[in-house]
Amino acid sequence: MENAIIGITFLYLLSSAGYIAYLFLQKDVLHRLSGYVLALAFLGHTATIGYNFLMAGHMPVSDLHETLSVAAWAIVGVYILFQHQFNLKVLGAFAAPLAGMAMIASDLLPRIPLLAQNSLRSIWLVFHVLAVFSGEAAFALACGIGVLYLIQEKTIKTKKRRFFYRRLPSLEFLDSSGYVCVVAGFTLLTIGLATGFVYAKMIWGKFLSWDPKEIWSGVTWLLYAALIHERLVVGWRGRKSAILAIIGFCVIIFTFLGVNLLMKGHHEVFTRW
């Protein structure tokens, strides 16, 4: 199992290197090969997570080691779907390294022997975890696209069109595909929060226990809700929308790691290390 995880990490990094090389050299073959390597790694990763699921009898998210691994898996999965739909070739240089870094962090963290917890054996938890993680992966892509938008906007505004100008697609494309990611992420996050409430009701007998993670998840949800609302009503697009997508993802990272490491609460258990 250890070897499998290290192999998957290696493949993610290999694919990252390929995508970054593609960014510089613009050879389509590099992009294609990186895509195959990434898909292979993803299949292996899916099998590993599935195996852990079967062995433990619940989603393998009982410590930070496992959680980070699932996060990386979700990012890659959502990226593959997105790439299939939009074919934004340079985004691989963002998504693959992100997943690779999460995997390295996961590999470096110690594994914690599992406490027998029947509370984890619930179908609601499976939905909760899957929805939240894939939603956050979509937000991660939205953040990456937001960065690309800001770069491309700067090159057009300052009229210095060197490296990125030719490599990046049009502003309109970046704006609309980033928005698709935000909407997808928001939908998934909403589902994730709803199933989380149901689960909480079943385990702790109440929907909301004002645990810091819950509060910050709510903050994240409100932030993205505001982004979508402003876009629909006032037409916040382009730069503002991109900046907000980047801020949103920073809040997510804080919710994911910061809250667990700095504050106490019942989600803490998932990120022990």
Q: Which is nearer to another protein, 124 or 173 (CB)?
A: 173
C-beta of 169: minimal distance to another protein in Å? 7
C-beta of 27: minimal distance to another protein in Å? 14
Q: Which is nearer to another protein, 32 or 161 (CB)?
A: 161
228 binds another protein (CB under 8 A): no
CB atoms within 10 A of CB 71: 25
Candidates 9, 174, 180; CA nearest to 90 is: 174
Q: Of the candidates 7, 97, 169, 265, which one interacts with another protein according to CB under 8 A? A: 169
83's tokens: 């790439």
172 binds another protein (CB under 8 A): yes
3-state secondary structure of 29: helix
Q: What angle do CA 96, 271, 189 make, to 5 degrees?
A: 65
- Measure the CA–CA gap between 254 and 262, rounded to whole angstroms: 10
Q: Of the candidates 173, 197, 221, 254, which one interacts with another protein according to CB under 8 A? A: 173
Q: Of the candidates 33, 183, 194, 239, which one interacts with another protein according to CB under 8 A? A: 239
39 binds another protein (CB under 8 A): no
C-beta of 239: minimal distance to another protein in Å? 5
C-beta of 29: minimal distance to another protein in Å? 15
Q: Which is nearer to another protein, 237 or 266 (CB)?
A: 237
Interface positions, 144-163, toward another protein (CB under 8 A): 152, 156-157, 159, 161
Cβ–Cβ under 8 Å, residues 136 and 71 = yes
- Measure the CA–CA gap between 257 and 250, rounded to whole angstroms: 11
Candidates 146, 148, 165; CA nearest to 231 is: 146
Cβ–Cβ under 8 Å, residues 31 and 19 = yes
Q: Which residues sit at the interface with another protein, rule CB under 8 A?
A: 152, 156-157, 159, 161, 165, 169-173, 234-240
